[in-house]
Amino acid sequence: MQSVSAFAAAEDLQAISLDELLQVHAPNVYLVKIDGDSMEGAGIFDEDVVIVDKAIDARAGHIVIAAVNGEPVCKRLDYVGRQIVLRSENPRYAPRFIMEGDEFTVWGVVTYSLRSHGPMSCIS
């Protein structure tokens, strides 16, 4: 493991734009805080923040933020034949088949996830 002193001096570091790095281009991109553990297998955990791009056309395999009968969900989009299936990345949760009569809307495709690694109170 390298210590901080092993890295270049602060004046030699190149600035990084999070907007460019994470491809955040308003108004197509927004942030969502995740509530639940259904996507842990994809590395998205409870209270993570995901970056969502509503300009990307959702396809099978994409992780999406969607609404099913008015309830927001974060799931992997899939199809069985022509039927839409929302899959969790946690074996404790069954797939959610979108049935006739369900209201279903994709709000955007998840492009990145962010996780806090410590209390915000340490920043002053």
pTM beyond cutoff 0.85: no
- Dihedral of CA atoms 63, 69, 72, 78 in degrees, nearest 10, equals -10
What was the pLDDT predicted at 117? 83
Q: What average pLDDT does the chain have?
A: 88
Q: Which domains does the chain possess?
A: 23-115 (2.10.109.10)
Which of 121, 120, 116, 111 has its CA nearest to residue 29? 111
Among 75, 113, 116, 121, which one carries the catalytic annotation?
75
Place of tokens 């197509």: 28
pLDDT tens digits for range 85-123: 999 999 999 999 999 999 999 999 999 999 988 776 455
Residue 38 annotated in active site? yes
Among 5, 38, 54, 124, which one carries the catalytic annotation?
38
Least confident of 7-11, 52-56, 83-87, 91-95: 7-11
Separation of alpha carbons 41 and 87, rounded Å: 11
What the block records as the tokens of 93 is 């949760």
What was the pLDDT predicted at 23? 76
Contact 112, 74 (CB under 8 A): no
